[in-house]
């Protein structure tokens, strides 16, 4: 029995609190919302559970209610590349859902998570009947394109501090992850899994970012103090220069 099947077997109706964490429901008209709420299910994912896997047919449009997921794919040389970290309020796979094509990526739980799913028939019914839902999905597709372009840029960065900065900025995306706000509950090991660095090196990078005034490390998570700084060219230059000055003289 696969992990994906066991997660499917654990599906259940969402609670009122879990429904309140689904951002696109507020865009619907009352009759549309009633139909969507009746269709949405949630599943309790354990660490390591797959929400979707490469080559499997699409059955739901998924979102994160609680927890943290990782979207990744394998490169031509067999290496794994993280496409996105998926914190609470993030919905994903709308392009796959629109085209009803097999998944081209894996999505896996990094910790205990609650994952919501909207069945394909309901997803396409809303596309056909709801202007608010269409606007939400179009916004997702537009922002997702920018996100994946940023992933390619992050993958080419050789400076670990910049990799962590850019990865954090992606996790605090206000459109794709509106429920995150200013504080993200994440451990250094989870962040290391997303960035592709050791936990120790991530810890060092976080110290640099905190010294720069971009973030504050808090118990159980991170608070972003200056999101534009994590994305901006001036911050990049400042970090690179600081790193160069700290190198021993030859």
pLDDT in tens, 163-182: 899 889 889 988 899 999 88
Burial call 29-46: b when 16+ CB within 10 Å, e when fewer: eeebbebbeebbbbbbbe
Residue showing tokens 């372009």: 149
Long-range contacts, 6-11 (Cβ 8 Å, 24+): 6/49, 7/43, 7/45, 7/49, 7/50, 7/51, 7/115, 8/43, 10/43, 10/44, 10/45, 11/41, 11/42, 11/43, 11/117
Q: What is the structure's pLDDT at 240? A: 44
CATH 2.60.120.10 occupies which residues in the chain?
3-153
Percent of the chain at pLDDT > 70 equals 84
How confident is the model at residue 7, as a pLDDT? 75
Q: How far apart, in whole angstroms, are the C-alpha atoms of residue 228 and residue 166?
A: 10
The pLDDT-based confidence of 203 (bands split at 50, 70, 90) is: very high
Q: Which residue has the higher pLDDT, 68 or 148?
A: 68
Res 234: pLDDT: 47
> Which pLDDT does position 248 carry in this prediction?
47
- Percent with pLDDT over 90 in the chain: 64
Between β-strands 80-86 and 69-74, what pairing exists: parallel, antiparallel or unpaired? Answer: antiparallel
From CA 224, how far away is CA 213, in angstroms rounded?
Answer: 9
Q: What is the pLDDT of residue 242?
A: 45
Rounded to 5 degrees, φ, ψ at 75 are -85, 175
Q: What is the mean pLDDT of the chain?
A: 86
pLDDT of residue 10: 82
Alpha-carbon Rg for the chain in angstroms: 19
Mean pLDDT of 91-119: 95
Residue 114: what pLDDT?
Answer: 97
Q: Which residue has the tokens 């504080």?
A: 183
For residue 84, how far is the Cα from the chain centroid? 5
pLDDT for position 82 = 83
Residue 194 neighbours by CB distance under 10 Å: 25
User: What's the CATH number for 3-153?
Assistant: 2.60.120.10
pTM of this structure: 0.82
pLDDT at 5: 52
CATH assignment of 158-245, among 1.10.645.10, 3.40.50.10710, 3.30.300.130, 1.10.10.10: 1.10.10.10
């Amino acid at each position: 029995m696969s992990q994906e099947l066991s997660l499917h077997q654990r599906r259940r109706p969402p609670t009122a609190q879990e429904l309140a964490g689904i951002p696109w429901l507020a865009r619907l008209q009352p009759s549309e919302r009633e139909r969507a709420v009746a269709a949405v299910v949630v599943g309790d994912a354990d660490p390591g559970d797959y929400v979707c896997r490469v080559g499997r047919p699409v059955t739901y449009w998924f979102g994160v209610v609680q927890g943290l997921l990782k979207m990744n794919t394998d490169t031509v040389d067999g290496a794994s590349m993280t496409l996105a970290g998926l914190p609470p309020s993030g919905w994903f796979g709308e392009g796959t859902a629109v085209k009803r094509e097999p998944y081209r990526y894996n999505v896996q739980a990094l910790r205990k998570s609650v994952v919501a799913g909207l069945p394909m028939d309901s997803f396409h019914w809303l596309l056909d009947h709801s202007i608010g839902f269409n606007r939400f999905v179009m916004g997702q597709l537009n922002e997702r394109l920018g996100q994946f372009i940023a992933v390619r840029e992050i993958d080419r960065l050789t400076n670990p501090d910049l990799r962590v900065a850019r990865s954090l900025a992606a996790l605090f995306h206000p459109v794709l992850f509106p429920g995150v706000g200013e504080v993200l509950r994440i451990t250094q090991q989870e962040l290391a899994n997303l960035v592709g660095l050791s936990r120790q090196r991530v810890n060092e990078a976080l110290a640099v970012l905190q010294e720069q005034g971009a973030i504050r490390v808090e118990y159980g998570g991170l608070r972003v103090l200056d999101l534009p700084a994590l994305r901006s060219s001036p911050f990049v230059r400042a970090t690179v220069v600081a790193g160069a000055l700290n190198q021993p003289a030859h």
